[in-house]
Structure 1
Amino acid sequence: MSQSRAAPIPRLKPLVSRLRPRLGLPNDHVHGATRRWELAPATRTVSPPALHHPDDLDRITGLGSSIRDIPSERRRVLGGMVEHAPTVAYELRDAVISGTQVFTWQIYLHVGTEPAPMVAGAQALHVDQASMASSWIGCRYFGHWLMDDLPRQLAVEALAPPLSVLTRPTPSQRVYADELDLAIPTVDEARVKRLIVIDDFGQNAGKKARYAELRGRARRRFPDAGGARVMLLRGSSGKRRMLTNEAALAAALEARGFVILDPGTCSVPQILSTCVDAALVVGVEGSQILNGAMWARTGATVLTIQPPHRFELIIKDLCDAIDLRYAFVVGERHGDTDFTVDISQVLRMIDRIDSDDGRVRS
């Protein structure tokens, strides 16, 4: 690995690869890879139904994802057979990493958050082989960094030394990586003779094993944690969907013995020492609740408070993969982006969860 001035011709790879679609030529990594192989096969599982009140389905007016529709999400709520995509590796030869994006003469892989350059930088790190530890979505959303890019790193570091294009990690991301013994070197300009990237969308058995490894690391780091009932506050963080009566809900749950955490002000060790092996995790649907869901004990329940205009089931996919139960309550819209929830309905759902837990234990 060395730092040197890049040759002028390869610096044109960003321009050439981005022009290919205008000529009717593909520029994706599936077509441009020099080699492709499967790391984990596709998996078929049965997804359990989400705990919910049937009336909540009628409150859903919009989704958080543009690639889904309300009828299909209603079916996902009810559970059933799910096909999980395989994890696939691709070898890219003589790759250029520039502006947090990846290029060859045939490929433009949009990963990081920086705008794609027309020409790669003159000064670059030269690497014989590496693997890409970042994903497009993980570079943009903290929750996806937790549940997608951390297990991604475990997959790619077995193939080649990992590199990340998350060039401005948050303090929390740095501490999480340290606590979980993950070294994530970042780079914004590099030339890599052999770069391995992966598609890791499916919650297949291989990804489930990587979740188990991460959860085991957290448990070994915080062996005295366990059994907490936790509410993780969202406030106005992330994409706005503020629960206007979140403080009142927190007060009601605190009266029931819940620990109330604000990930925006708590340290990562505080979060992990509370959330590792937690019994019940509650919060507005969003990245902040993954601070608890990722580490809750097997068989625990995650209860999301859903805005009716931005219903989302991504966290259910994680819960299914790591053997957690998933529950939700849908609120009522308040203004353009905010919403409120019936606190008594949330408390009834928690009573139902506790009742189900009692039947399981008996």
Structure 2
Amino acid sequence: MTRRRFNLTPLIQAVLSLAGLDQTPAAAAAEAVTIAPGETTIFPPAYHLDGQLDRVTGVAEHSTRALEQVRLGGVPVANSATMAYRIPNAVFAVGRLYTPRMIDRQGGDQPRRLTVRLTQDIDTLALPLNEFATVFFGHTVIDGGASMLLAPGFGEAAIDSKVSAAMAGHVSRYFELFGLSHRPVHDVRIRNAWIFDDIGMNAHKSARLRWMGAQVRRLPALRSGHGVFIRRRGWGVQRAPENEAQLEDFFAARGFDIIDARDLTVDQIAARCIGATVIVGVEGSGMIHGMLALEPGRTVVMLLPPSRLNNMMKDYADGLGLHYAFVVGQTTPSGYTIDATEILRTIDLVPG
């Protein structure tokens, strides 16, 4: 039986952080590797009808109006470099990587512990997930998958044990398609822990995303040249329009496949999305299913609550080479609605 050793690194980090002595991962690193340089890019525009932004009453919790303006495209964007940082003599516990002066969160919303009993020492591991990629399905598949593709150059990929257990189902199937594996770990000391800054949509990350999409499109498809509507109601955080059921009927009558990701496997979802010309649905992680299945040059239309403007998926669409369009709903006393004809008119704005 492995002897468990008491460790105070999380407590020390908390105290030094309160004293203002905490470090960023870049500052804590003993070694930094530039995997891909940063670059300035002008991404294509987000297609939308005139007056859509006049309906907006608020933005998503992790966004700002200034950021959303940039996401509309057509302006230079400074995409950060893709970096790997080697953090020496670190502790990984409850989804957090610690040194006495640094913390990197990779474990969802698990409660923090100030002390830990270590189970083992490991020489080198690559920890590829960021904080969002341990909470939201879409980030796990896209950001987590893209960063896991970097891991083999630095060490065996490792993921917090509880996060790993929660990946059963859709996430694990996508990682299988991408040829990704990892080691579940908890309460360990890592002599050389590699973590990644892989946020910038530079050419290197875009190439990885397109490769991931190509692996999904190797699965068999049921049809081509059609549209797909991905249902949101009853799935994830509740932000579907009040009339989503009516929108489903509207698009089903026009030959669209209506998909509820909760009821289908990844292979079944892909079979219905591969070959589509357009994917429509409420902004959220479920749309990643359709976006990965679309060929570059196809279109995704995001439906947005007026109280929560969030075109974060535009970043992924740019990386995947997709046309991105959006429709903002109209506020009602109890939520919002989407005009189906506005979706059709928005699709008509997209060239080709």
Q: TM-score, normalised by structure 1?
A: 0.90
When residues 175 and 193 of structure 1 are mapped into structure 2, their CA distance, relative to the original with a 3 A threshold, is same
| Contact 2:126–2:195 (8 Å) recurs in 1 | yes
**Per the alignment, in what secondary structure is the counterpart of residue 286 of structure 2?**
helix
Contact 1:228/1:274 (CA < 8 Å) preserved in 2? no
Offset at residue 271 of structure 1 (A)? 1.0
Partner residue in 2 for 1:147: 142
| Partners of 1:76 and 1:285 in 2: CA distance | 14
Tell me if structure 2 keeps the 8 A contact 1:29–1:109: yes
Cα distance in 1 between the residues matched to 2:95 and 2:255: 45
Which residue number in structure 2 is paired with residue 360 of structure 1? none
1:135 paired residue number: 130
Q: Does 1:61 align with 2:53?
A: no
Please give the residue correspondences for 1:93-108 in structure 2 after superposition, counting only pairs within 5 Å.
93-108=88-103
Indicate which of 32, 36, 44 corresponds to 2:32: 36
- Once residues 248 and 92 of structure 2 are traced to their aligned partners in structure 1, the CA distance between those partners, rounded to angstroms, is 45
Q: Is the CA contact 2:228–2:279 (under 8 Å) kept in the aligned structure 1?
A: yes
1:16 to 12, 17, 40: 12
Amino acid at match of 1:239: V
Task: Give the Cα–Cα distance (whole angstroms) in 2 for the partners of residues 45 and 352 of structure 1.
Answer: 23
The farther-off stretch of 279-288 and 180-189 is: 180-189
What does the per-residue CA deviation read over 1:184-221, in whole Å, with 9 as the maximum and x for residues that have no partner? 32222222111100111100111012112212222234
Find the counterpart in structure 2 of residue 189 from structure 1.
187
Task: Decide whether aligned partners of structure 1 residues 144 and 12 sit closer, same or farther in structure 2, where only a CA change above 3 A counts.
Answer: same
2:156 aligned with 1:161: yes
Change in CA separation of 1:78 and 1:86 when aligned onto 2, cut-off 3 Å: closer
Which residue of 201, 208, 232 maps to 1:210? 208
Q: Give how far 1:183 is off.
A: 1.3
* Letter paired with 2:344: L
Q: Aligned-pair distance for 1:352? A: 3.8
Deviations along 1:137-156, one digit per CA (max 9) or x if unpaired, are: 01111111122111010012
> Is the alpha carbon distance of 1:334 and 1:189 closer, same or farther for their aligned partners in structure 2, counting shifts above 3 Å?
farther
Q: What SS does the aligned partner of 1:211 have?
A: helix
Change (3 A) 1:238 1:193: same
- Residue 246 (structure 1) aligned with residue 244 (structure 2): yes
Aligned 1:201-280 pairs, distance under 5 A: 201-222=199-220, 226-280=224-278
- Note closer, same or farther for the CA distance 1:308–1:295 as it changes in structure 2 (3 Å cut): same
| Closer/same/farther in 2, CA of residues 302 and 16 from structure 1, 3 Å limit | same
Query: What is the alpha-carbon distance in structure 1 between the residues aligned to residue 326 and residue 219 of structure 2?
Result: 30
| Alpha-carbon displacement from aligned partner over 1:306-326 (angstroms, at most 9, x marks no partner) | 111101111111111221111
What is the aligned residue count?
A: 348
Equivalent-residue separation in structure 1 for 2:116 and 2:331 (angstroms): 46
Separation in structure 2 between the aligned mates of residue 271 and residue 169 of structure 1, nearest angstrom: 17
1:116 aligns with 112
Is residue 88–residue 200 contact of structure 1 (8 Å, CA) maintained in 2?
Answer: yes
Contact in 2 for aligned 1:300/1:324 (Cα 8 Å): yes
Distance in 1 of aligned mates of 2:238 and 2:278:
24
Equivalent position of 1:346 in the other structure: 343
* Aligned partners of 1:281 and 1:302 also within 8 Å: yes
Q: Distance in 2 between matches of 1:187 and 1:228?
A: 43
Contact 1:131 1:160 in 2 (8 A): yes
From 323, 326, 329, the equivalent of 1:325 is 323
Q: 1:17·1:27 contact (CA, 8 Å) conserved in 2?
A: no
Give deviations 1:318-360, integer Å, cap 9, x for gaps.
1112211111111112346x3211112122223444xx32xxx
**Alpha-carbon shift at residue 182 of structure 1 (Å):** 1.6
Unaligned runs of 5+ residues in structure 2 are none
Cα deviation digits, residues 59-88 of structure 1 (max 9, x gap): 11111144412x552353252211101111
Normalising by structure 2, what TM-score? 0.93
Unmatched runs of 5 consecutive residues or more in structure 1:
358-362
Distance in 1, matches of 2:185 and 2:145, equals 17
* Structure-1 separation of matches of 2:10 and 2:70: 42
- Higher mean C-alpha displacement, 75-84 vs 258-267: 75-84
Please give the alpha-carbon distance, in whole angstroms, between the structure 2 residues aligned to 1:235 and 1:43: 39
Q: Aligned to 1:5, what secondary structure does the other structure show?
A: coil
RMSD of aligned alpha carbons: 1.9
Alpha-carbon distance change, 257 to 264 in structure 1, aligned in 2, over 3 angstroms: same
Q: How does 1:308-323 map to 2 (within 5 A)?
A: 308-323=306-321
